[in-house]
């Protein structure tokens, strides 16, 4: 491995270890830079050193409705953010850190790999084949912190799942109880878009 091309070596070893693990889990340079006290150039250089290639270009995931677009998305987002909340409750400072993201995401992929064990596309030590990658996971944490996503307790199965409270979206639907099987055997869940369309449809007179 080539030596780190850093001009400023004031970064602690712990930050660099966490930065390396974040990159191995698929985190892109802007997230690594924010959480590990690295400059933009340092995080890009470190990404190239760890992955052996340049990082993906373009915007980070920013779809605020991703968690409610399907039952599968909701289950995985609820699983991950539930872990984040559980870990935060045991920390002296609840702010997001590189260590918190790494620990929660590693637990998530361990659980998700068991949930998806029958799918041949899942590969060990790779986050790109899981429904929730670490970059979107980071974005979902910000939505939970700002109150755009909230946890709701299902009155029937008592599962905690994510709902969205937003001026232009009001969506609350259990991804376990409110899923049914159609004639072809596929499991269906009303999406936020279709549910809002049904709510806004004028009633027949």
Considering only CA atoms, which of 61, 62, 78 is closest in space to residue 27?
61
Angstrom CA distances, 111 to 49, 76, 78, 81, 85, stand at 29, 10, 13, 13, 16
For residue 43, tell me if it sits in a domain. Answer: yes
Any residues with CB less than 8 A from the CB of 58 and at least 6 apart, and which?
A: none
Backbone angles phi, psi at 90, to 5 degrees: -105, 5
Any domain includes 205: no
User: Burial, 102: exposed, middle or buried (Cβ in 10 Å; 0-12, 13-18, 19+)?
Assistant: buried
DSSP E strand boundaries for 50-129: none
Position 124 scores a pLDDT of 46
Q: What pLDDT does residue 121 have?
A: 45
The percent of residues in the chain predicted with pLDDT above 70, rounded, is 77
Cβ atoms of residues 8 and 39 within 8 Å: yes
Instruction: Provide the pLDDT for residue 7.
Output: 40
Q: 11-26: per-residue pLDDT in tens?
A: 578 889 999 999 999 9
98 and 159 inside one domain? yes
Helix (H, G, I), strand (E, B) or coil at 80: helix
Residues 130 and 173 in one domain: yes
For position 184, what pLDDT does the model report? 77
Query: With bands split at pLDDT 50, 70 and 90, how would you rate the model's confidence at 169?
Result: low
**If we measure between CA atoms, which residue out of 30, 21, 43 comes closest to residue 142?**
30
Same domain, 78 and 167: yes
φ, ψ dihedrals at 189, nearest 5°: -145, 135
Whether residue 146 is found in the same domain as residue 170: yes
Range of weakest confidence among 37-51, 115-129, 183-197: 115-129
Instruction: Tell whether 4 is covered by a domain.
Output: no
Show Cβ contacts of residue 114 under 8 Å, excluding neighbours closer than 6 positions. none
| pLDDT at 153 (0 to 100) | 93
Containing domain of residue 133, as a range?
66-198
Statement to judge: residues 75 and 109 lie in one domain: yes
What domain count does the chain have?
Answer: 2
Global pTM reads 0.80
- Residue pair 28/41 in contact (Cβ under 8 Å)? The answer is no
């Amino acid at each position: 491995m080539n030596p780190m091309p850093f001009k400023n070596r004031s970064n602690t070893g712990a930050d660099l270890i966490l930065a390396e693990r974040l990159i191995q889990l698929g985190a892109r340079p802007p997230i690594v830079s924010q959480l590990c006290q690295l400059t933009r150039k340092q995080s890009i250089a470190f990404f190239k050193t760890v992955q052996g290639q340049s990082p993906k270009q373009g915007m980070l995931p920013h779809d605020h409705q991703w968690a409610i677009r399907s039952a599968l998305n909701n289950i995985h987002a609820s699983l991950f953010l539930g872990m984040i909340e559980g870990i935060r409750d045991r920390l002296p400072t609840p702010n997001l850190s590189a260590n918190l993201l790494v620990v929660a995401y590693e637990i998530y992929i361990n659980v998700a790999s068991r949930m998806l064990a029958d799918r041949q596309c899942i590969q060990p030590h790779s986050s790109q084949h899981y429904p929730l990658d670490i970059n979107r996971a980071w974005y979902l944490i910000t939505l939970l912190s700002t109150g755009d996503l909230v946890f709701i307790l299902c009155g029937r199965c008592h599962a905690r799942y994510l709902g969205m409270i937003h001026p232009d979206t009001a969506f609350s639907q259990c991804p376990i109880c409110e899923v049914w099987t159609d004639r072809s055997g596929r499991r269906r869940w009303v999406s936020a878009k279709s549910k809002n369309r049904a709510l806004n449809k004028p009633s027949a007179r």
